[in-house]
Structure 1
Amino acid sequence: MGYLIGNYMTASAITVLVYEIVASFDREIDHIWRSSWSIPKALYLFSRYYPLIYLSIGMGYSTLPYVPQNHTPELTASSSCQAHVWYRGFGGFVLIVPTVSMIFFFRVAAIYGNKPKFVAFLVVLFLVPAGLSMTSTHLPPWVPTSESCLFEEEWQSLPIYSLSIPLLGWVPPLGNSALLFVFTLLRLWSPFHEAVSTADTTALNIKRIKRKSPILSSLFTDGIVYFFLVFTGFSQFTPYLYGARLILNLREIATKDFDPEAGASSISLSTFAAQTECHDFGLERV
Structure 2
Amino acid sequence: MASASPSDAAAAAELQRLVQAIQDTHVSNICTAAAAAWLSYDILLTFRQEVSLVWSARWTTPKLLYFLVRYYTLVSLLLTVAVNSSHEVSFTLTTGAVRWRWYNGFNGTLTSAVFGEAMFLMRLYAAYQRSTAILIVIIILFLAEFVIGTVTAALVVSSFHVVPRPPNYPLPGCLFTPPKHVNLSLMVWAVAMGVTCVYFLLILYKFARNLSVRKNAGPSNVVPIWELQRISPVVFSFLRDSAFYFFLVFIGNTMNLVFELVFAGRAIIPMGTVWLMVIYALSASRLCLNTRGSLHRRRSEYELESGWHDIIELQDRSRSSGQRTNTNISAANITPGSTLIFAKSEGRVSLHRGAMDLDALEYTQRDYFRTWEYEVEPWTVLFPTY
Q: TM-score, normalised by structure 2?
A: 0.60
C-alpha contact (below 8 Å) 1:101/1:173 kept by paired residues: no
How many Å separate the matches in 1 of 2:279 and 2:204?
21
CA distance in 1, matches of 2:107, 2:287: 21
Q: Which residue of 1 aligns with 2:108?
A: 92
- How far is the alpha carbon of 1:81 from its aligned partner? 1.7
> One-letter code of the match for 1:119?
L
Displacement after TM superposition at 1:126 (Å): 1.4
Q: Secondary structure at the match of 2:241?
A: helix
- Are the structure 2 counterparts of residues 43 and 225 from structure 1 closer, same or farther at C-alpha, using a change threshold of 3 Å? same
C-alpha contact (below 8 Å) 1:81/1:142 kept by paired residues: no
Q: As a proportion of its length, which structure holds more strand?
A: 2
Matched, 1:253 2:275: no
Higher helix share: 1
Classify 1:282/1:213 alpha carbon distance in 2 versus 1 (closer, same or farther; 3 Å): closer
8 Å contact kept, 1:43–1:99: yes
Q: Structure 2 CA distance, aligned partners of 1:264 and 1:61?
A: 60
State how far apart, in whole Å, the 2-side matches of 1:198 and 1:156 are. Answer: 65
Q: Give the one of 58, 64, 67 matched to 1:36.
A: 58
Question: Residue type matched to 1:276 in 2?
Answer: D
Cα pair 1:31 1:251 within 8 Å, conserved: yes
**Offset at 1:279?**
8.5
CA contact (8 A) 1:133 1:172 kept: no
Q: Which has the larger radius of gyration?
A: 2
Letter in 2 for 1:181: F
Judged with a 3 Å threshold, the aligned counterparts in structure 2 of structure 1 residues 22 and 279 are, in CA distance, closer, same or farther, namely closer
Which one-letter code corresponds to 1:9 in the other structure?
C
Question: Is the Cα contact below 8 Å between 1:48 and 1:241 reproduced in 2?
Answer: yes
Deviates more, 1:117-126 or 1:130-139: 117-126
- In structure 1, the residue matched to 2:124 is 108
Q: Give me the whole-angstrom Cα distance separating, in 2, the residues matched to 1:262 and 1:166.
A: 52
SS at match of 2:297: coil
Letter of the 2:179 counterpart: P
Secondary structure at the aligned position of 1:200 is classed as coil
Letter in 2 for 1:47: V
Question: Conserved in 2, the CA contact under 8 Å of 1:97 and 1:173?
Answer: no
Partner of 2:179: 159
- The answer to whether 1:12 aligns with 2:91 is no
User: Which of 70, 93, 100 does residue 48 from structure 1 map onto?
Assistant: 70
Q: Deviation of residue 53 (structure 1)?
A: 0.9
**Count of residues paired in the alignment:** 267
The match for 2:200 is 181
Report the residue type matching 1:171 in the other structure.
Answer: A
Separation of aligned partners in 2, 1:282 and 1:116 = 20
- Residues 119-158 of structure 1 correspond to what in structure 2 (within 5 A)? 119-137=135-153, 138=155, 139-140=157-158, 142-147=160-165, 151=171, 157-158=177-178
| Matching residue within 213, 220, 226 for 1:199 | 220
Q: Residues 98 and 173 of structure 1 are in contact (CA less than 8 Å); yes or no, is this contact kept in structure 2? A: no
Gaps of 5+ in 2: 1-22, 256-271, 303-338, 350-357, 359-364, 376-386
Task: Provide the secondary structure at the position in 1 that maps to 2:161.
Answer: coil
Computed over aligned residues only, the root mean square deviation of the Cα atoms, in angstroms, reads 3.4
Taking only the aligned residue pairs, the percentage that are identical comes to: 21
Counterpart of 1:261 in 2: which secondary structure?
strand
Task: Give the SS at the match of 1:185.
Answer: helix
Which one-letter code corresponds to 1:217 in the other structure? F
| 3-state secondary structure, aligned to 2:158 | coil
Output the CA distance in 2 between the equivalents of 1:46 and 1:142: 29
Between the aligned partners of 1:199 and 1:218, the Cα distance in structure 2 is 26
